[in-house]
């Protein structure tokens, strides 16, 4: 599955040193949306600030709203003022950057739109010398993904003398069948090598660092298996609620919104086998193999290994917080999961019988994404005794994805004094303060990768299908039930059923 | 070899919680010396301050100087004012503590002295209710150890209704034969269970913590062997010179003064097999077994695996520092080693072919005692390339004994940015700041242990002989040579021959 161009691609350095984009144009569908303002435009400006994109570069925004190029530029200028947080908005750089911004209004279900887009692209290619290279970025509502792909195909925009690639934002399908259908539609027009399915978690520095941590050090990998690890806990907690996105969220739920994509990819990064090399197919082959190794639950196992939850109203501090069913746009009888916790098993030699606990939720006590590797206790401690019970606390390796990116190792130490009292202590490494260097945002990394043609940190068709396969029986079981979901008061760590699920395996959720 | 009293000893709790001494008297031979003032008296006062020694407690000082009890008390008061650094010298506590201090002048080679000592002990036992329990503490010049032991025996002071124990300060012998002779002399009077050979390194909190670190955690021991460790480096560096002790030091040298005792014991603590339980004989059996497993060099191997050194004059900053041969009391042709570095191999399954590098020296760039466990690099890194050479730096576990007691783990991390650049970073644990609790001094721990009858942290006859056996062929080879020792300028990390010794094994000294 090697990119046909890889061998001839001077921009593609597997270790990514001094990475720079070739001449290219990016067409953003949904350019009027939040993602463009908050993430894509700041990332592109930052890449320009670092001279990682060439002068021969252009962005073409599209949405149904009528706007001139200049109006679009002004809108993007406002977005950068608001969302560019750690980079100066220099007038001279903005001027030259803005000259590369264009806009084409149009309805993506109208064939005539693609004619106008083609004409605009041709003009820009002439004006900006972008070499016919075009990255189509789908940031619209998911229901437009298929029409856009087919529209681009009908207009012949999917191939040219330069490269043509398509980036597809999440969600990639609503379930296994719709994901397969979307793949079929995309493949009707694009080859797999042209398709870049984005999962921005894979672009995060701390997720990439998991690979460096595991595979460039000699001491962690020998411990990284069922012999030494008793369980893995992956937590993605949000303290906020649905924040006005109730109508959208009601159709998704926590399992779809976070676990099917982000957290299963994080789990694969933690659990996959060592890499022969750091290139797109080596990395994705291993991730896909891991995802296919996750045991798919039978429907009668779902109640044992999966717990949904929905937050109820609560007073947090002095604030009265509504429950999910009281949020604007949410059906007062909604059965959407705002919390989901799974016990997953991996059927291979490394991980047999080691539970991976994955949880995510809204309105939990704090915002944190982290991974806790819980090790077996010492097989025999000469210091164990009833009144030395700290002596039985297991070693923990905590990988913090956000915030306070870093790694901590909890181990037992002697407490100072005459007794052999043991206490858990931590060794800490803080990613930010240790280097004093800025971490690029996930979107900077991923946009640059797509322009260069490096799909290492993008998901592949087989990865997406494997993760939907894991989630599908749980979605089915939950939707077939008629009773209310387990409720948890806003500001707590989820329903008690989730604690009970771990207790059945002899484990307990760590409090982050 | 269990202490006959262990089963019936209510003071002996193997995990040492709430440890308190029984009624007892301590006779300090050499009470006029530095150790008494700087270490023993502050330790005893601190134990009193913590109520770890009972009211029924007394100290009897001895030296040849004539002094009354009150004069001795005054002298000790002055010593506490000078050397008690982190404990308040409370007048009321000092008053009651001082009432337990006594003094008997006398020459330990005079049989009449022991009669006077016996009479004093009897009177004190009556006055202070010390129950006939006496700890004899030998802190004199080593040449008096045998006469004192024999004198105590002749006077029948080595046994009574209470317990009698003898603590022997270092050096324990000048070589293998004199150590054996001293053992014979002690055993002529005392049983092995009565003899407490002190090595204050074993009483240090951070050395005890090595046991907690290794044997109460599940994740270090699996890595703690030849499969994952490429070498171990033990460093005890002093920045000072011989500081007026030139005449004494000239007779000892670095190998005898530091390696034969302290550093081989530290090495045993790092290298010994896991403990079945934390009691005196379990711990000492394992330490002794390890020490006996160290390969004893043949005389023709000494030049390959042992490097002596002697510091020469240098300017350090603005200070002109004399060389060792220019120090007061030192023979200008002295061949005494002020630096010694050994490559030691351990002949067992765990450590076969893993070099242990042990070095110590005076006038090195800084004062530090630490242990560096250097691990093998990852067997295959997907990120290795010529221009990513940090990617081949091995993992290091650093255990700092003094100062800044703590543990650090060096590993490779991704440097923030678009490239997969690797950089070594550290996770750190600081013993002092993590707990905010005071660590008892080694002498507090060891004096209390001897009073209680716990020899866990004391060396045993077989341990002492095993360590002398390791050192003896090196002493012999060095003393048979006539040439000057390799010289290193004061303020540097030792002679180049030491670096060459490691280079032959493909290693290099870490710069602490």
pLDDT digit string, tens, across residues B317-348: 899 999 999 999 999 999 999 999 999 999 99
A243 or B95, greater pLDDT:
B95
B24-47 burial, b if ≥16 CB within 10 A, otherwise e? bbbbbbbbbbebbbebbbbbbbbb
DSSP letters for B378-412: PS--TT--GGGGGGGPPPEEEEEEESS-EEEEEEE
Task: Give the mean pLDDT of A146-168.
Answer: 95
Which residues of A carry out catalysis? 262
Do A45 and A80 contact (CB within 8 A), yes or no? yes
Contact B208 A420 (CB under 8 A): yes
Q: Is the whole-model pTM more than 0.90? A: yes
Whole-number average pLDDT of chain B: 93
Residue B472 to chain A, least CA–CA distance (Å): 34
The secondary element (H helix, E strand) that includes residue A428 is: strand A422-430
B383 or A233, greater pLDDT:
A233
Least confident of A18-32, A454-468, B425-439: B425-439
Interface with A, mutate which of B19, B219, B278 (most A CBs under 10 A): B219
**From A15, A212, A377, residue closest to B218, measured CB to CB:** A377
Task: Give the mean pLDDT of B31-57.
Answer: 95
Residue B52 to chain A, least CA–CA distance (Å): 10
Secondary structure of residue B209 in the 3-state scheme: helix
Q: In this structure, are strands B368-375 and B229-237 parallel, antiparallel, or unpaired? A: antiparallel
Residue B3 has pLDDT above 50, yes or no: no
DSSP letters for A244-307: T-HHHHHHH-HIIIIIIIIIHHHHHHHHSPPPSSSSHHHHHHHHHHHHHHBPPPPGGGHHHHEE
Contact B412 A212 (CB under 8 A): yes
pLDDT digit string, tens, across residues A29-47: 999 999 999 999 999 999 9
Task: Give the span between the Cα atoms of A108 and A64, in whole angstroms.
Answer: 8
**From A205, A220, A417, residue closest to B414, measured CB to CB:** A205
pLDDT digit string, tens, across residues A174-199: 999 999 999 999 999 999 999 999 99
pLDDT digit string, tens, across residues B429-448: 999 888 888 889 999 999 99
Band of residue B41 on the pLDDT scale cut at 50, 70, 90: very high
Whole-number average pLDDT of chain A: 93
According to the model, what pLDDT value does residue A4 have? 46
- Measured between beta carbons, the chain A residues lying within 8 angstroms of B456 are none
- Measured between beta carbons, the chain A residues lying within 8 angstroms of B227 are 222
Tokens 């991980």 appear where? A351
Residue B205 has pLDDT above 70, yes or no: yes
pLDDT digit string, tens, across residues B220-243: 999 999 999 999 999 999 999 988
DSSP letters for B212-278: HHHHH-SSSGGG-STTTEEEEEEEEE-SS--TT-HHHHHHH-HIIIIIIIIIHHHHHHHHSPPPSSS
Task: Give the span between the Cα atoms of A90 and A317, in whole angstroms.
Answer: 42
According to the model, what pLDDT value does residue B86 have? 87
Contact B380 A276 (CB under 8 A): yes
**From B385, B407, B425, residue closest to A15, measured CB to CB:** B385
- Measured between beta carbons, the chain B residues lying within 8 angstroms of A407 are 427
Q: Shortest CA distance to B26 belongs to which of B154, B145, B133?
A: B133
Contact B437 A431 (CB under 8 A): no
Contact B428 A427 (CB under 8 A): yes
Task: Give the span between the Cα atoms of A398 and A343, in whole angstroms.
Answer: 19
Give the number of A-B residue pairs with CB atoms closer than 8 Å. 223
According to the model, what pLDDT value does residue A217 have? 94
Task: Give the span between the Cα atoms of A160 and A176, in whole angstroms.
Answer: 32
Q: Shortest CA distance to B369 belongs to which of B334, B318, B403, B335?
A: B403
Interface with B, mutate which of A413, A419, A438 (most B CBs under 10 A): A413
Residue of A nearest to B391 (CA): A216
Contact B19 A418 (CB under 8 A): yes
Band of residue B2 on the pLDDT scale cut at 50, 70, 90: very low
**From B205, B217, B421, residue closest to A17, measured CB to CB:** B421
Task: Give the mean pLDDT of B44-50.
Answer: 96
pLDDT digit string, tens, across residues A289-347: 999 999 999 999 999 999 999 999 999 889 999 999 999 999 999 999 999 999 999 99
Interface with B, mutate which of A417, A423, A425 (most B CBs under 10 A): A417
Task: Give the mean pLDDT of B299-304.
Answer: 96
Quick one: CA dihedral A117, A123, A127, A130, positive or negative?
Answer: positive
Contact A223 B228 (CB under 8 A): no
Task: Give the mean pLDDT of A224-246.
Answer: 94
Residue A281 to chain B, least CA–CA distance (Å): 13
Tokens of B277: 């339980």
Tokens of B220: 């270090």
pLDDT digit string, tens, across residues B385-405: 766 666 678 999 999 999 989
According to the model, what pLDDT value does residue A161 have? 85
User: Mind spelling out the 3-state secondary structure of A148-193?
Assistant: HHHHHHHCCCCCCCCCEEEEECCCCCCCHHHHHHHHHHHHHHCCHH
User: Mind spelling out the 3-state secondary structure of A262-277?
Assistant: HHHHHHHHHHCCCCCC
According to the model, what pLDDT value does residue A390 have? 63
According to the model, what pLDDT value does residue A293 have? 98
pLDDT digit string, tens, across residues A78-129: 999 999 988 999 999 999 999 999 999 999 999 999 999 999 999 999 999 9
According to the model, what pLDDT value does residue B1 have? 35
pLDDT digit string, tens, across residues A399-412: 999 998 999 999 99
Kindly name the residue from B158, B200, B262, B507 that is annotated as catalytic. B262
B160 or B61, greater pLDDT:
B61
């Amino acid at each position: 599955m090697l990119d046909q161009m890889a061998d001839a691609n001077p921009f593609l350095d597997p270790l990514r040193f001094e990475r720079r984009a070739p001449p290219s144009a990016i067409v953003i569908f949904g350019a009027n949306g939040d993602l463009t303002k908050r993430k894509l435009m700041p990332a592109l400006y930052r890449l320009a600030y670092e001279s990682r994109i060439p002068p021969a570069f252009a962005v073409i925004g599209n949405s149904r709203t009528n706007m001139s190029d200049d109006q679009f530029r002004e809108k993007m200028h406002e977005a950068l003022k608001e969302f560019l947080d750690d980079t100066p908005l220099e007038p001279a750089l903005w001027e030259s950057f803005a000259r590369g911004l264009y806009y084409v209004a149009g309805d993506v279900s109208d064939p005539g739109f693609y004619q106008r887009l083609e004409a605009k692209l041709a003009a820009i290619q002439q004006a900006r010398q972008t070499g016919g290279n075009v990255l189509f970025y789908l940031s619209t509502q998911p229901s437009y993904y298929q029409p856009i792909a087919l529209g681009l195909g009908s207009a012949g925009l999917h191939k040219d003398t330069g490269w043509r690639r398509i980036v597809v934002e999440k969600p990639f399908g609503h379930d296994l069948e719709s994901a397969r259908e979307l793949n079929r539609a995309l493949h009707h027009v694009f080859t797999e090598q042209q398709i870049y399915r984005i999962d921005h978690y894979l672009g995060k520095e701390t997720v990439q660092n998991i690979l460096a941590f595991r595979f460039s050090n000699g001491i962690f990998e020998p411990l990284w298996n069922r012999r030494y690890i008793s369980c893995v806990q992956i937590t993605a907690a949000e303290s906020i609620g649905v924040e006005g996105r109730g109508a959208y969220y009601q159709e998704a739920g926590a399992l779809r919104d976070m676990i099917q994509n982000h957290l299963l990819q994080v789990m694969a990064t933690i659990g996959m086998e060592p890499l022969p090399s750091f290139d797109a197919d080596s990395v994705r082959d291993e991730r896909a193999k891991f995802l296919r190794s996750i045991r798919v639950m039978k429907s009668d196992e779902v109640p044992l290994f999966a717990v949904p939850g929905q937050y109820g109203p609560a007073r947090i501090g002095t604030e009265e917080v509504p429950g999910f069913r009281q949020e604007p746009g949410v059906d007062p009888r909604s059965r959407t999961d705002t919390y989901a916790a799974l016990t997953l098993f991996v059927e291979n030699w490394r991980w047999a019988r080691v539970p991976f606990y994955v949880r995510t939720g809204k309105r939990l006590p704090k915002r944190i994404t982290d991974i806790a590797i819980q090790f077996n206790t010492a097989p025999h401690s000469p210091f164990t005794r009833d009144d030395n019970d700290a002596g039985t606390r297991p070693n923990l390796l905590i990988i913090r994805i956000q915030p306070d990116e870093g790694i901590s190792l909890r181990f037992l130490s002697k407490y100072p004094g005459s007794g052999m009292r043991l206490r858990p202590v931590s060794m800490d490494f803080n990613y930010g303060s240790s280097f004093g260097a800025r971490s690029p945002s996930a979107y900077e990394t991923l946009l640059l990768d797509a322009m260069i043609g490096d799909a290492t940190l993008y998901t592949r068709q087989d990865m997406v299908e494997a993760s939907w396969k894991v989630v599908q029986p749980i979605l089915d079981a939950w939707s077939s039930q008629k009773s209310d979901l387990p409720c948890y008061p806003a500001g707590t760590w989820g329903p008690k059923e989730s604690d009970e699920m771990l207790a059945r395996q002899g484990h307990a959720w760590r409090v982050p």
